[in-house]
Amino acid sequence: MTMCCARVTAFAYPVKQTGSLGESSPEAPSSWQFRGGLDRAVIGGLYVKRTFISAAAVLAFTAAGHADELADIQAQAKQLREQNQALMKRLSDIEKRQKALEAQQKQAAAVNPVDAMAADLPYKAAVKAPAAVSDDLCWHGVCLYGNFDMGVSYYSHSAPFNAMAGGPLVSTINTNTQAPSYAGVNANMMSTSFIGLRGKQEIADQLYAVFNLQTLFNPASGMNANGVGSVVQNNGLNQSGSAFANLANSFADSSKGGQMFNNVAYFGVSSPTYGTFTMGRQSALSSDLVVNYDALSGSNAWSLLTYEGATGGAGVTENRIYDNSYEYRLSIGPVRFAAQAQLANGGNSSTGLAYEGDVGFDYAGLSMDFVGGHIKDALSASPLSTSQVNQLTANQLGPSVIPGFTPGYAIPCSIGCVNGVISDNTAFSIGAKYTLGPWKFYAGYEHLQFANPSTPLFPGAFAQGGYNIGFVNNNRYFSDRNQNVFWAGVKYAVTPTFDVIGSYYGARQGFFTVGAGPATGAFYSTPGAGINAVNGTPFGSFGTNQALACAANGTLSPGCAGAIDMFSLAMDWRFARHVDLFAGVAYTTKSGGLANNFILTATNPNLAATYNTGNRVSVWDPGIGLRYQF
């Protein structure tokens, strides 16, 4: 009986082990025993051989598999190490970039945009309340920024509004300040209006290309600020003894001559480690000091330093901005250094060689800077007199003989000529600022020395903005003129959006001997060519004894000792983002040689006695306006 699906194996002979291993069974023939043993031996050998071969193959394949896996792991480990090194380098670069940006943001939070003339100042408003979200007009590192300032003013004495000047009204009283009061439009009172375009682009690791273009303008007329043009506009009109003196308007010499980019136009490279190098038209280091350490910095109406500009220009306002200039700035911890040079145009030009240096520091709320420099062929421009206009016209109509020149030399006046005093100036200034909670205290001092030029200029000399110097006085300072300027101010933040500002400005000039200017019929004078005679009408003639003339009347000569004092008070309320309301008033007095030839002085016999104030003239000027910054 068989089992379904069961496997049955049949043998020809019974296989049975009855003895010890290797012995034959007595129940099988001997041949079978031999053959069976052989078969078992062969089969067993083949089995063992195959087993060893299989085991060897398995071991071989296993070893090969492990070798491949090891190579893969080693490659992966190498790749991960390289990736880790790259990530560590990238992290280090990002951390450096983060520190640089944080430092820039801290610097930007401390600068007023209307302070606006240093080569790498960030120009963003500290006077505004910080915005929750940045709305700067920037694209790929290039930013459009600007400022508008306009309002109304009253002046106890003034000249008419000038559409060309950046400071369109005579804020500090000058030769053209007239007896009548003025009430009406005013612009650029708290700050000068401007439009600017600046950029900063990373060109290598921690190395940036920077540029800045900026133009100041008069928002009431839409004209670019042009102080030299405002002087030319009044040629023949500004004479204190003339019946036509009241036809002159509020001209003011300036470092802006109507250029397309009249304030700054520079570019360069900047590194957080190695400093900033820039080239082009840039503010002087002496101007940067005035900007940073004046409580009412930028105010044409209420800051003597801003309106007259001479302090920032080492004695001459036209040198508050340098052409052909190169500047390097470096900060090492809390200490900063700067050096600047203006290269001369060469030839008969008022753009002469100038150089300045600065050292400053910041520590525990205190900031200080020290600036010194020297300027050659500095130009102070004023309008031509009526006789000078006539003389210049005759020269241009036909051949004329100019002393020292070949007959037939015509003086060029491409877009206008001015009367110019040329000097070599040396200046040293110091500024300080201290912050204590809501209080900010400001103070500064500058010493100025004026001397006759070592390289005199000649008629037709080239001035900024395309103007020429028709009459050149190279002999104003027969002896050196020394002047000291000093100021102090305070700003108190009543609230985060409301400031009250008070400031005092003073200047003192020592007596100096005034050299003889161009003789009658001449167009220029040479250094050291005689002393100016003083006509003391109605006090009599003093000849060349200028000291005696000044003792009799302190305004008879520009070389008499003189003084300027200004007291200012202003408020600024930032009632909305980008927009603030401001108001202020200043009271200014001038006396002695610094009031020489003024219409309002007693030396002018054409004015009623009620306006004659002897050796002293004064003005006060309240005003109010709006400012928009972006």
Mean pLDDT rounded to a whole number for the chain: 83
Closest by alpha carbon to 308, among 616, 56, 594? 594
* pLDDT at site 76: 83
* pLDDT at site 171: 84
Q: Provide the whole-model pTM.
A: 0.77
Closest by alpha carbon to 524, among 474, 558, 452? 474
* pLDDT at site 400: 56
* pLDDT at site 43: 41
On the 0-12 / 13-18 / 19+ scale of CB atoms within 10 A, 567 is middle
Residue partners of 421: CB distance under 8 A and separation at least 6? 379, 380, 382, 473, 476
* pLDDT at site 70: 80
Half-sphere exposure (Cβ direction) of 473: Cα atoms closer than 13 Å: 24
Rg (CA), the chain: 44
Kindly state the helix (H) or strand (E) to which residue 223 belongs, with its residue range: strand 223-224
Q: What is the three-class DSSP state of 420?
A: strand
* pLDDT at site 94: 82
pLDDT tens digits for 241-277? 555 556 888 999 999 999 999 999 999 999 999 999 9
* pLDDT at site 553: 82
* pLDDT at site 402: 57
Residue partners of 461: CB distance under 8 A and separation at least 6? 348, 349, 350, 420, 468, 469, 472
* pLDDT at site 14: 37
Q: Which residues of the chain have pLDDT under 50?
A: 1-53, 55-61, 108-128, 406-407, 602-613
* pLDDT at site 350: 94
Q: Quote the CA–CA distance of 271 and 207 in Å, as a whole number.
A: 5
Sign of CA dihedral 598, 218, 308, 416: negative
* Residue 197 vs residues 144, 323, 346, 481: alpha-carbon distances, Å: 5, 19, 30, 40
**Pairing relationship of beta strands 468-473 and 524-525 according to DSSP bridges:** parallel
